[in-house]
Structure 1
């Protein structure tokens, strides 16, 4: 039977801990205190991680051991203990259960190394998130073994830690999807904001966070306000209200900052979000001038259209607004050679001139290189 202390010190930190970086620091500290462990670590490995990627390791020490070095999980891994992956998920193992009693020499080596690391007593717990992630929790003591109460606490935590690991694995997947989308938009210089019907910012991506100022004044409701000139702020609120109420289909353009020629395009939100959800009324989009590295863009053009190095470099420069002859001179080509190159570029890309070429480049993968 779980009591109020268990809920406050262990289970609630497990739920909230998926949002910590790294996760579950508070949970680990509370677990060490509850079990009277001296030191502990939690190893988290995602199934999708590259083989060369180091696992996430959270080290925690009791106050009496805070000056001691953290547990060296790599050294433990090299002792030839019972392979972590073969530990039955959810079962609590004592140190003796992972030692090699079939090889006296190795057993002596293992015991000596553990003693040198200050590990005389320990408990292992493995949890797994259905093939998406694995975690291994180790608690150690030096002078006396863990009490039956401490072992029971660790065993009781197993199912809850498993559920939390599944949540963390799913959250990690969503974070990856979000990061990919934000990275693509950032490469194009695009920033986006979600507004409610009153013009409050519900969410903003990194580009929008960087480009726009936000008011520090507290709001009665959730959300933030953009810090704008009074007339612009009023226009934003009126536009969001009109779009939310259906009096405008969107496409409203606001000049946020004349000094930077920074405009914000507002449209009705069409996001399809799962329940429970807080659907924004309006999506705001802004864009700054940002292009890919020239060499990276030329490589993409060469790969897609079979252009030569010089042809790809010339096409890349033309897409940035340079004339054929100016781009050719930058590349140390004569005007005649540049014009001959341009004809070959048009033929290979299937375009009908400079304007068509620029359109084709800017609407393709090149700006995302």
Structure 2
């Protein structure tokens, strides 16, 4: 089949661009509805490893003539027990008749009646898969007459492209999960990070940095943004980024960004290992907030990891916060002598020789992430 310029403009390019939309592929579905003269379309996406109680993602689009109609009841549609979606051959277009249960007349009658109530007298189904990552089902429905051969041909044409888009979408979902994991861990200990180019422009900022700082918009969206700082601070940032570009690996510089908040950034020459085509940042800026973990969870974690009793773990945690042993003991209902005996047991169980080593061990452990 020859692809027309309209195919590229209305279907293929929206498939690519729509990967980044939230929800994805709205323009593609609207254009597909218009191209096939469908009354409505819906795309159901089920991601692998999703919890059993997590509802699938359902994207619904209607033609302008059906804009006032309520969305389809997907639970009711699922309960009709049409041809099992998991048994459909990927990228093959199925007609409505192929989805019905002709082996059981009573069930068939129920299916037809329910579909007619939902305005689905004619339909086409396609199953799309991203092996090991997701399954998706695209459905187009009409009410008055069946789809033309041209409409079915269009669905056949876009099926492999939609499958490729789904695979790319799943890869982005995995990347977003990795990013969320890293950002959540850093946010729990009060760390935010920013990537700068040699001129001090912001190439990327994580969620914590975005929350803490104010940015001026660049001409290219996020690319070219700058931190909104006092003029002299902005000049210092630009100068230090330029200097770090030519500095030795491991070189750092500290800069006070906001005196009122006592907010500092540690700038270091970037040494990130990035695969594939990329624009490498010149400098990484790290922010650090005075943030404490969930105390109860931290104490339970310390007890579990180091085999301490609840009281011992509570005292060990207090020591990491800089609280004197005697004072922490009184707060925990211990005499000074008992608190000192507890501390000796803590050192023995953790294999540390004193407060400094204990604090270093616990602050480098799991408790700060609670």
* 1:162 paired to 2:167: no
Q: Is the 8 A contact 2:188 2:368 kept in 1?
A: yes
Corresponding position: 1:25 with 2:4: no
Change (3 A) 1:99 1:362: same
Offset of 1:186 from its aligned partner? 0.6
- CA–CA separation in structure 1 for the residues paired with 2:88 and 2:321: 59
Off by >3 Å, runs of 4+ in structure 1: 216-222, 246-249
- Partners of 1:31 and 1:269 lie apart in 2 by 45
Per the alignment, residue 180 of structure 1 pairs with 181
Unaligned runs of 5+ in 2: none
Q: Are the equivalent residues in 2 in contact too, given 1:39–1:70 (CA < 8 A)?
A: no
Q: Deviations over 1:173-193 (max 9, x none)?
A: 111111101111111111111
Deviation at 1:55, TM superposition (A): 0.9
Name the CA shift for 1:62/1:365 in 2 (closer, same or farther; >3 Å).
Answer: same
Name 1:355's counterpart in structure 2: 356
Q: Residue 29 of structure 2 aligns to a residue in which SS?
A: helix
User: Contact conserved, 1:37 with 1:140, CA < 8 A, in 2?
Assistant: yes
| Residue pair 1:242, 1:248 contacting (<8 A) in 2 also | no
- Asked whether the equivalents of residues 217 and 224 of structure 2 are also in contact (C-alpha less than 8 Å), the reply is no
Cα shift at 1:130: 2.0
Cα deviation, 1:97-121, whole Å, max 9, x if unaligned, reads: 0111111111111111111211100
2:47 maps to what in 1?
A: 46
C-alpha deviations, 1:340-365, integer Å up to 9, x for none? 22121111111112222111110111
Is structure 2 residue 361 aligned with structure 1 residue 365?
no
Residue 253 of structure 1 deviates from its aligned partner by: 1.0
TM-score norm. by structure 2 comes to 0.96
Per-residue CA shift, 1:6-25, capped at 9, x if unaligned?
11111111001111111111
Q: Distance in 1 between matches of 2:248 and 2:264?
A: 22
Matched, 1:257 2:249: no
Q: Conserved in 2, the CA contact under 8 Å of 1:311 and 1:342? A: yes
- C-alpha distance in 1 between matches for 2:222 and 2:112: 60
Shift of 1:169: 0.8
The number of equivalent residue pairs is 369
Within-5 A mapping of 1:214-229: 214-216=215-217, 218=219, 222-229=223-230
Asked whether the equivalents of residues 249 and 271 of structure 2 are also in contact (C-alpha less than 8 Å), the reply is: no
Instruction: Determine the C-alpha separation between the residues in 1 that align with 2:355 and 2:221.
Output: 54
Asked if 1:335 is matched to 2:336, the reply is: yes
Is 1:202 the counterpart of 2:169 in the alignment?
A: no
Match of 2:291 in 1: 290
Long gaps (5+) in structure 1: none
| Deviation for aligned residue 1:145 | 0.8
| Match of residue 37 from structure 1 | 38
1:273 shift after superposition: 1.3
CA-to-partner distance for each residue in 1:120-177, whole Å, 9 max, x for gaps? 0000011111221111001111111111111111111100000000101111111111
Say which is worse superposed, 145-154 or 323-332, in terms of deviation. Answer: 323-332
